[in-house]
A = this chain, B = another copy of it.
Amino acid sequence: MSRRITIRDVADLAGVSVKTVSRVLNKEPNVRPIMQDKVNSAVAQLNFKPNPQARGLRGNKTFILTLLYSNPNPDYILEVQNGAMEQGNAEGYNLQIFPCDHKNENLIETVSSFLEASPQDGVILTLPLSDNLQLIELLEKKGIPYTRISPFYSEHNSPSVGSDDQKAAYDMTKYLISLGHTDIAFIKGHPDHSDTDKRFSGYKQALNEYNLSLNEEIIKQGFFTFESGEDCARQLLAQKQKPTAIFASNDCMAAGVLKVSKQLNLAVPADLTIAGYDDTSVSQQVWPAITTVKQPIHLLGKMATKKLICKIKQKTWDEIQSIFECELVLRDSSSICNSTTN
């Protein structure tokens, strides 16, 4: 391994002072174009890359962003990671991850000690951490810039991005209604996730708009797990008047519903229409493939990172909260209602 190229080497080669090189590298004003050219060509010639640690030490920066998450859905997390990476790298930041367990009693302590021990320029929070008030308080207290993905609470006036879950759930419900379904069951997500409420609201909104009454008997509390989907499906499909469609708040639970339907010899979609949410791989890999909602997860990761970097650089952004549209992905688990009662 050869000796590291430093800013001094560049300065010597370009015949300028180190400060001038620094100015050019950091795009500071007040450098004559001639100087800039000299520096740039020296940089290129030596393939010089400034040492982030040295830059950080002096400027109290790290060029590291941390993604904090506690989410059992690998498809979701990986897509957020990819989006965050893409944007971060484009702007010269690296991405550090810190998976944690939101049910852990010592969460705050754990995160706090992590943040102290490993400095970073900013933090990205995903659900359900986005809504963890203690965590937000901690970040505020420490003065660490952060953005949140899909938060429910917006008191803190911190930048956030999200997708329009309510509208998507509304659209999906409307679609189910358009297929002729009137007994549309709903399986809610985990009460700790704020998504849960938004999706449920969209469902209610659509029913309301079409003058369908809200039937508490066909609204079940799930927990975003496959098993909870099964449980709810068993309850729903054991009722005298079975729903003709079940809208589950995520794909895992929808897959659970599909399993139970098959066990009960119900044909999907002929006897029962199923809809999920998230467009995770399982929704494509079961049969029939599940009709679902696709969130722009990659984009959320990207934009959260973009906003975070703006905040770090003290630049302003038009909107504190940006909401992106989801899209319906129609697959084979949904069809026109065949029920004789309708």
Contacts and interface: CB of A to CB of B under 8 A. Distances in A.
Interface of A: 1, 47, 49, 51-54, 56-57, 62-64, 74-75, 77-79, 81-82, 85, 89, 92, 94-99, 114, 116-119, 142-143, 226, 252, 255-256, 258-259, 262-263, 281-282, 284-287
A12 to B, nearest CB: 20
Copies of this chain, complex-wide, total: 2
Contact of A142 (B1, B74, B85): B1
A259 B290 CA distance: 13
A334 B284 CA distance: 22
B252 A285 contact: yes
A95 to B, nearest CB: 6
B85 A119 contact: no
A227 to B, nearest CB: 10
B94 A95 contact: no
A86 to B, nearest CB: 9
Given A57-B53, A97-B85, A256 B285 contact: yes
Given A52-B119, A263-B287, 18 more contacts: A1-B142, A47-B116, A49-B116, A54-B57, A64-B96, A74-B74, A74-B78, A74-B79, A74-B281, A82-B99, A85-B98, A89-B114, A92-B117, A95-B97, A226-B284, A255-B285, A262-B287, A286-B287
B97 A226 contact: no
11 contacts: A52-B117, A52-B119, A53-B57, A85-B99, A226-B284, A252-B281, A256-B285, A258-B287, A259-B285, A263-B287, A286-B286
Given A57-B51, A95-B96, A281 B282 contact: yes
The SS class assigned to the A binding surface is helix
A226 B289 CA distance: 12
For A117, A281, A285, the residue with the greatest tally of chain B CB atoms inside 10 Å of its CB is A285
Contacts of A284: 226
Nearest to A229: B285
Contact of A117 (B49, B142, B256): B49
A255 B288 CA distance: 12
For A77, A281, A282, the residue with the greatest tally of chain B CB atoms inside 10 Å of its CB is A281
A268 B105 CA distance: 44
Contact of A51 (B96, B114, B119, B285): B119
A97 B119 contact: no
A54 B77 CA distance: 32
